[in-house]
A and B are shown apart, each in its own frame.
Chain A
Amino acid sequence: MLTERELQISPIVLESVQHNTKTLTTLHNLTASLFGVGAGILGLESYPGFIFYLVFSLLTSALVYAFRVRPAIIKNSISGGKAGAGIERYFMGSMELWTGGLFEGLSGFVLTWTLFYGLVRA
Chain B
Amino acid sequence: MTWLSTSITGFGFVLLAHACYSAHEHSALHSTSTASLSSLTSHGPSVSAVAALPIDISIETIVAILTICLGLVLGTPELRPIQWRVWAGQIEREGEKGFMNGDGEVDKDYVGNPFKVLESRPGFVDIRKQRKEFAEWVREGGSVEG
A-B contacts, 17 listed (Cβ < 8 Å)? A13-B82, A15-B111, A16-B81, A26-B76, A27-B73, A35-B65, A37-B16, A38-B64, A38-B65, A41-B57, A43-B50, A60-B69, A84-B85, A84-B86, A89-B82, A120-B23, A121-B27
Q: Given A34-B68, A68-B73, A90-B80, 16 other A-B contacts at CB below 8 A?
A: A10-B83, A13-B82, A17-B82, A19-B77, A27-B76, A35-B65, A43-B50, A60-B73, A63-B73, A68-B76, A83-B86, A84-B85, A119-B20, A120-B20, A120-B27, A121-B27
**Per-residue B-contact encoding for A43-83, CB less than 8 Å = 1, 0 else:** 10000000000001001100110011100100000000101
Given contacts A37-B20, A38-B62, A43-B50, A13 and B83 within 8 Å (CB-CB): yes
Q: Is the CB of B79 within 8 A of A20?
A: yes
Q: Is the CB of A10 within 8 A of B84?
A: yes
Report the contact-size class of chain B (Cβ under 8 Å from the partner): 35 or more
What's the least CB distance linking B27 to chain A, in Å?
Answer: 5
